[in-house]
Structure 1
Amino acid sequence: MKKETEGGTVHRMRFAGRRATLRGLVALGAATVGAQSIRPASAAARPLKIGYVSPRTGPLAPFAETDGFMLQRVRAAIANGISVAGNVHPVLIIEKDSQSNPNRAAEVTASLIKDDKVDLIVSACTADTVNPVSDQCELSRIPCITTNCPWQPYYFGRGGSPAKGFEYTYHFCWGLEDLIAVYTAIWDSTGAATNRTVGALWPNDAEGNAFSDKAFGFPPALAANGYKLVDLGRFQPGANDFSAQIRAFKAAKVEIVTGVLPPAAFATFWSQAAQQGFKPKIVTFAKALLFPSAVAGLGPRGVGLSTEVAWSPAYPYRSRLTGETSAQFADAYEAATGRQWVQPLGATLSLFEVALDVLRRTTVLTPQGIVASIRATDYASAVGPVKWTGSPVKNVTKTPLVGAQWTAGNRHPLDLQIVSATLAKDIGVQKRLAILT
């Protein structure tokens, strides 16, 4: 073999080496990390890591059924990175499944912080998810933004104090006062069609305890608005016999039933109500009636049930991340998945809209710097304005909420039509509430 010299052969080797290095950098820029392609803009622009915790499996999985589509759209929108303080950074979204278990939610959050070393954590879908995630972030001093859980179970369920608040954890969503206002507006819209006697099903969990709170929950508000409440007290989550409540409701001539139950528990109650001849005129439930699949499973008796709406294709807001209106985003989801739109589609999109806006405005990429950017947020999201101003309490800002009823549909077997929008004048009413028959 010919021995290399310091002449032309070495020069060619160095040139070939530089070409190999360039090819390696190009290959690195096109590499996929966790299903997301990232393109480094410069050697100094490190990847920004966002951890995302949601219940992809388990009883709460319907809240996260849109995650795959939504994350695909978000990743496409930021495929070329985002500009932060003059540098373009690739963004890596690391997903974790809470399995609908609060303990698991805390564990995967700790892993995101310790092992993945994320810059920011986001989470959604009920207090069983967002509370343990937020607690772990507050303990570890990592910025966290959450949504899709009424703010009282999030805040007071974590031992929050309005005088003190939290340092690293922030939440945007409507509150119980909004839910109560929406529900009573739904019921009031029928005029004298009911006797204003309300039967309640509130379990012994974070949401049930908040809804039934005698200071800020439904009981004082219903009394103040002239409603009579029939409530047998808290029952354990997972209960499958509502005979005692149904007997009490029938004895008190209850014509309106409300509560907060998982879909399976509500289906059990509604079936037992039919078996025992209990026929209320209005049924308005949180959680159980949010999803078309759950309501469709009730058969013909699902038509006419009512619930709250935190996002729908009828919302007048546009995503500044994807550029789509609410209706366009819902249409894109249905075309891509073959499934009907669901409310969390807008909530989780807005979560990433806000998170990316926060990172774009951050001047110093430290936990404290990111928190400062969160506090300064003033963003028009897919679910409405998001701006932390210390109201209603520190670390919480509210988004619009309206009331809706399930009707027989044209495009889908069931449609969720807005029947009350007293708290959001820019969101139009689609129909009047119909009494159950």
Structure 2
Amino acid sequence: METTKAVIIAVVVTAIVSGAGVYLVAGGGGEAGPTPTENKPIKIGAIAPLTGAASYGGKAAGAGLRVAVNELEERGLLGGRPVEVFIEDSESKSQAAVDAAHKLVEMNNVCAMVAEYRSQNTIPVHEYTNEEGIPTVNAVATSPNINQDELGPYTWSTDALDDLMGPACVEWAKEEWGVQGKDCAILVMNDPYGVGIGDAMKATIEESGATVVKYIKYTTGKSDFRPEITALKDSDPDFLFGVIWGSEATAFWNQANELGFKQNIEGKAYFPYVELALGDAPRDQVENIKGLAQASRSWRADEFWEKFREEAPDIEWKAYYGPSYYDALNVIANAISWAQSTDSDEINQALPRAFESYVGVLDTDMRVDDLGRQINQTFEKRVVLEEKVKGIGYVTSSRE
């Protein structure tokens, strides 16, 4: 078994580069040998962006899945039955994600699935898996539309949705400065993720007695943000909230410094996923910019990261994509154990209990509400100080 597992995991690393569909196998560890009937593999699917624009996260997701499979091999599942985890590439595209879901359901006959990464890919995947009655746990996507009212009863999330993280950014500003009677601006990308979190920020701002004086939804892929920055500067906000990532963030901060806007909102600009929001801008250009990150505060975190580094030593940044996929796969395994079955409907019925009893890497409280959404999420507050990103505390957002 050890030889087989090593070969399969080596193939997975190659597939993450090539985008081929792959699978991991976990055998039953240490329990009495199962009968031939009991030895039938438990098949679980996973979809991640192994190639394309979001592949930096897909590599971390694959490593997180491998850590989970290794642990399943040690402890076994349903009396030692082997577990096959089929990983398909979404290519960072919606249609490819849906095609991958079809393959996992129709060819691989999975009983449950982890999917996906981007909200615009995750929503159509969950629409399809709900039609097919396959419980699907969203690991990373954060659109508020990813819930059972919108997509159906087989939709679940280990990740906090935007209607928790967006308000948490505003709550942090309230703690530091107070926002009542203040003017706020919002800058987000014009896609389901950006608009979802922007709308959640706007609602919390207005509920707090502040005013949104400018709400900009920019087109992704652009490199010239001078028109948006000029409009923001002209609105003269007391606070800036928003979502901007990667090369777009690099361009934004370069130009915000050039036009003198960054100096106006220094110390009062708040973003989710702060490392992404800084892009590759020189750190002296983003001094005192603030943001949130998923907090790894549970007792499982140190052990997980040690194993994660062994699986993916080339991934330097502690991206939350790895633990998100790890937690999602473990929640499914937990549901299978509670159900004592691989029947998809029985697994789905066991998922609330599986979430409640599972201690995750990203949070010790993994409970979900009656729409399959995380009830609570703790985020780490991070700020650029002396050209380094530093954690300075925590904020919790809750549906309770």
TM-score range, shorter chain: 0.7 to 0.9
Contact between 1:151 and 1:173, CA under 8 Å: does it hold in 2? no
What amino acid is the match of 1:301?
Answer: Q
Contact between 1:53 and 1:133, CA under 8 Å: does it hold in 2? no
Residues 1:201 and 1:109: Cα distance change in structure 2 (over 3 Å): same
Q: Match for residue 187 of structure 2?
A: 201
Contact between 1:151 and 1:171, CA under 8 Å: does it hold in 2? no
Secondary structure at the counterpart of residue 115 of structure 2: strand
Q: What percent identity do the matched residue pairs reach?
A: 15
Residues 1:231 and 1:298: Cα distance change in structure 2 (over 3 Å): same
CA distance in 1, matches of 2:112, 2:238: 47
Partner deviation per Cα, 1:380-402 (whole Å, 9 max, x = no partner)? 22223223441xxx232334132
What amino acid is the match of 1:74?
Answer: A
**What is the aligned counterpart of 1:421 among 390, 395, 398?**
395
CA distance in 2, matches of 1:254, 1:236: 22
Match runs of 1:320-399 below 5 Å: 325-334=300-309, 337=313, 339-377=316-354, 378=356, 379-382=358-361, 383-390=363-370, 394-399=371-376
CA distance in 1, matches of 2:375, 2:275: 19
Structure 1 position 182, deviation (Å): 1.7
What amino acid is the match of 1:371?
Answer: N
Q: Match for residue 109 of structure 1?
A: 101
Q: Match for residue 224 of structure 1?
A: 207
CA distance in 2, matches of 1:311, 1:376: 23
CA distance in 2, matches of 1:56, 1:149: 15
CA distance in 1, matches of 2:343, 2:24: 26
**What is the aligned counterpart of 1:251 among 234, 245, 256?**
234
Residues 1:422 and 1:120: Cα distance change in structure 2 (over 3 Å): closer
Looking at secondary structure, tell me which structure has more helix per residue.
2
CA distance in 1, matches of 2:179, 2:368: 40
Q: Match for residue 155 of structure 2?
A: 169
CA distance in 1, matches of 2:85, 2:280: 34
**Alignment of 1:62 onto 2:62:** no
Partner deviation per Cα, 1:280-339 (whole Å, 9 max, x = no partner)? 22222235x3459x6455443244332222233xx1x13xxxxxx313433444466151
Structure 1 position 108, deviation (Å): 0.6
* Runs of 5+ unmatched residues, structure 2: 9-21
- Structure 2 length-normalised TM: 0.81
CA distance in 2, matches of 1:268, 1:275: 11
Structure 1 position 344, deviation (Å): 2.3
Contact between 2:159 and 2:324, CA under 8 Å: does it hold in 1? no
Contact between 2:184 and 2:237, CA under 8 Å: does it hold in 1? yes
CA distance in 1, matches of 2:195, 2:317: 32
Secondary structure at the counterpart of residue 95 of structure 1: strand
What amino acid is the match of 1:350?
Answer: D
- Structure 1 length-normalised TM: 0.75
Q: Match for residue 53 of structure 1?
A: 47
Structure 1 position 79, deviation (Å): 1.9
Q: Match for residue 428 of structure 1?
A: none
Q: Match for residue 430 of structure 1?
A: none
Contact between 2:143 and 2:161, CA under 8 Å: does it hold in 1? yes
Secondary structure at the counterpart of residue 372 of structure 1: helix
CA distance in 1, matches of 2:2, 2:252: 59
Structure 1 position 354, deviation (Å): 0.7
RMSD: 3.2
Q: Match for residue 73 of structure 2?
A: 79
What amino acid is the match of 2:135?
Answer: P
Partner deviation per Cα, 1:133-164 (whole Å, 9 max, x = no partner)? 21221122212111323351423xxxx637xx
Partner deviation per Cα, 1:231-264 (whole Å, 9 max, x = no partner)? 2543333233322221122222224222123322
Partner deviation per Cα, 1:67-90 (whole Å, 9 max, x = no partner)? 343233222212257332xx3210
Match runs of 1:82-97 below 5 Å: 82-84=76-78, 87-97=79-89
Residues 1:116 and 1:299: Cα distance change in structure 2 (over 3 Å): same
CA distance in 1, matches of 2:247, 2:180: 27
What amino acid is the match of 2:160?
Answer: W
Secondary structure at the counterpart of residue 238 of structure 1: coil
Q: Match for residue 267 of structure 1?
A: 250
Structure 1 position 122, deviation (Å): 0.7
CA distance in 2, matches of 1:380, 1:311: 14
Contact between 1:173 and 1:399, CA under 8 Å: does it hold in 2? no
Residues 1:111 and 1:298: Cα distance change in structure 2 (over 3 Å): farther
Structure 1 position 37, deviation (Å): 5.5
CA distance in 2, matches of 1:346, 1:27: 26
Contact between 2:229 and 2:256, CA under 8 Å: does it hold in 1? yes
Residues 1:422 and 1:68: Cα distance change in structure 2 (over 3 Å): closer
CA distance in 2, matches of 1:89, 1:131: 32
Secondary structure at the counterpart of residue 189 of structure 2: coil
CA distance in 2, matches of 1:311, 1:418: 12
* Runs of 5+ unmatched residues, structure 1: 1-24, 319-324, 425-437
**Alignment of 1:98 onto 2:90:** yes
Any runs of at least 4 consecutive aligned residues in structure 1 with deviations exceeding 6 A, and if so which?
Answer: 25-31, 192-195
Secondary structure at the counterpart of residue 92 of structure 2: coil
Moved more, 75-84 or 103-112: 75-84
Residues 1:193 and 1:154: Cα distance change in structure 2 (over 3 Å): closer
Q: Match for residue 43 of structure 1?
A: 36
CA distance in 1, matches of 2:396, 2:45: 36
What amino acid is the match of 1:149?
Answer: A
* Number of residue-to-residue matches in the alignment: 372
